[in-house]
Amino acid sequence: MRKLSSLLVAVMAIFQVNAQTFSTKEDSRADYFLTAGGYHDLTVHFENLTQEPIILAYEKVYVDFPSAWSFQLCDNRNCFTGFVDGDTFSAIQPGDESSSLKLTVYPQNVLDTGIVSYKIYNKYQPEDVDTIEYRIYVVWSASTPEVRIESNFKVYPNPVINNLTVSNASDVLTYSVFNTSSQMIMRKDFTKAKKDFKVDCSNILNGVYSIQLLTENGLKSQQFIVSHN
């Protein structure tokens, strides 16, 4: 009986250690379609799910951010004008939903794309972790809800071995290639808008990818497969 009691205590302790201590109020990975003027606040709020104060920490995972844009990154304690490698929040009280990681973007009327990713975790329970990813697309559209992802262009051959041809795509300013984990693995900016071009896939691992085209009219996206076998 004593052994059984000890086992139950151990199981309860493991459950308590692995219990989720915080959650995000918005999608932790999201696409943001922004207009080129003014500024935009991209905010992810966190809620303390425990009965005690917690301290969240964050670490930089990946940043691909246009140098022409300005920004500010703020937690509930500090604000930065650079993408810091890591920092901590002030203590978040039980039930508090107001603490956030806010990225304010100033596109400076420059069309481009960017990705910012940070790992968020409980400082004293680091196995309780989430990843925040801001995928940012700046277009000329005067109304963000009207921006649509379209795929009325051609990519071939599909599957591709070396060179992927993109055709019938109007006024392409930038293309980006993403893997199935939404990580950007390739990007190219054109000094002059393109309609037809090739993408070198010879150094990309076999798998499924998506190519996203930033045009003067919005964003276009389509999947393709790389197969070197």
For residue range 192-226, list pLDDT tens digits in order.
878 889 999 999 999 888 888 887 767 778 888 89
In terms of domains, do 42 and 75 share one? yes
Residue 70 located in a structural domain: yes
Residue 182 located in a structural domain: yes
Residue 2 located in a structural domain: no
Q: Is pLDDT of 127 > 70?
A: yes
pLDDT tens track for 22-79:
999 888 888 888 888 888 999 999 999 999 999 999 999 999 899 999 999 999 989 9
pLDDT tens track for 128-148:
999 999 988 887 543 433 334
Tell me the whole-structure pTM to 2 decimals: 0.61
Is residue 51 exposed (0-12), middle (13-18) or buried (19+ Cβ within 10 Å)?
A: exposed
CATH code, 29: 2.60.40.10
CATH code, 174: 2.60.40.730
Where in the sequence is the domain holding 60, given as residue range(s)? 19-139
Q: Is pLDDT of 6 > 50?
A: no
- 161: region left, alpha or beta (phi > 0 left; psi from -120 to 50 alpha): alpha
What local confidence, expressed as pLDDT, does residue 104 receive? 93
Query: Among 113, 139, 165, where does a domain finish?
Result: 139
Residue 204 located in a structural domain: yes
